[in-house]
Amino acid sequence: MFPDRESCLRRSTKPAKSAKAEPAPTRKQAEAPAVKKPVKQVQKVAEAKPKSKEPAVLKKSDARLPSEADQTTLVMQSEPPATKLDRNLEPAAPQPVVTAKLALPPAEPVTAADKQTLGRRIALIIGNSTYAGVPVLKNPATDARAIADTLTGLGFEKVTLKLDLDRQATWAALAEFADDAARADWAVVYYAGHGIELDGQNYLIPVDAKLDSDRRVLFETVPLDHVVEATAGARKFRLVILDACRNNPFLQTMTRVASTRSIGRGLSRVEPQGGVLVAYAAKAGEVALDGDTGNSPFVVALIEQLRQPGVEVGFLFRKVRDSVLDLTNGTQEPYTYGSLPGREELYFNPPAK
């Protein structure tokens, strides 16, 4: 039943025929069929990946996290492009006013000697854009900032910029400015926003005005005469600039209580006394344009002339008139009222030496 010892020895020394007929495959041959195809697929994917124009998107269901290089690429591609701030919003820090029309070289800095010659110059700048009862105006805040920046660059000692003032805040700003003007040589007020004319008198409209009837004009607005009076203390030069000759949306809903009261288009002409100049963006009875460059045509022309050295004030506003007529194809004509003393020439930007 059991084989003998000699038979066992013969079997252990003699190789099996099946081993010769079917040799065992090498390790490389054994692994090749299982690994070779996946490797080629991975290489193809890796080579095709850079050719794709679409950014890689990582899904929550992916088991593999992107490498460090992939993560950097994703972050860079997801970064939103830089956007400009809305000119009518208050930025976190003061922003320069830049438009195609105002891309002018900065004015030459006013020297200490020029400041001493020109005297102490102050300005109050008001821009009313955000009205409670009517649509927002797009330009006054931007125009006010542009004028404030320009006068600061021309060496004014104090430039006060006020935006979106209600009636109480307007009175407070004028009272403070009147006190400063009593110690100044120049006093300049610039106002951009809505204005109204009633029975031949002009009024500035604060942002909280409702003006649901013509009677409310006397109680909810600020008379132009009081604005002019705020400059009265200045010794050499007094100027009020009104960029307020816009279409008045209050008129559409205003109830006429007194049928004898007249409300005109734009502002009415004025006759200021005491050596003060009042400049309108559009002459009496006309309407000023806002423009589409971020600043009104009047402000574009005014800043251009303010920066020019050696332009005397009287001649300056005549040049502004011509520029605005050109910019508006003759539809808007600025106008000045009042007279200036003739004892000396007046310059925003002194002649170059």
**Residue 106: which pLDDT band, with cuts at 50, 70 and 90?**
low
In the chain, what are the domains? 120-338 (3.40.50.1460)
More confident residue, 29 or 195: 195
Identity at 182, one-letter amino acid code: A
Q: What is the pLDDT of residues 63-102, one digit of tens each?
A: 343 344 333 332 333 333 333 333 333 333 333 333 334 5
Nearest-10 crossing angle of helices 297-306, 140-153: 0
Q: What is the pLDDT of residues 8-21, one digit of tens each?
A: 455 544 444 444 44
Residue 167: phi and psi, rounded to 5, are -65, -45
How far is 55 from 283, CA to CA, in rounded Å?
Answer: 59
**349 has a pLDDT exceeding 90:** yes
Tell me the range of 180-189, 262-271, 328-337 where mean pLDDT is highest: 180-189
The enclosing H or E element of 178 equals: helix 167-181
Q: Strand 158-163 relative to strand 121-127: parallel, antiparallel, unpaired?
A: parallel
139 three-state secondary structure: coil
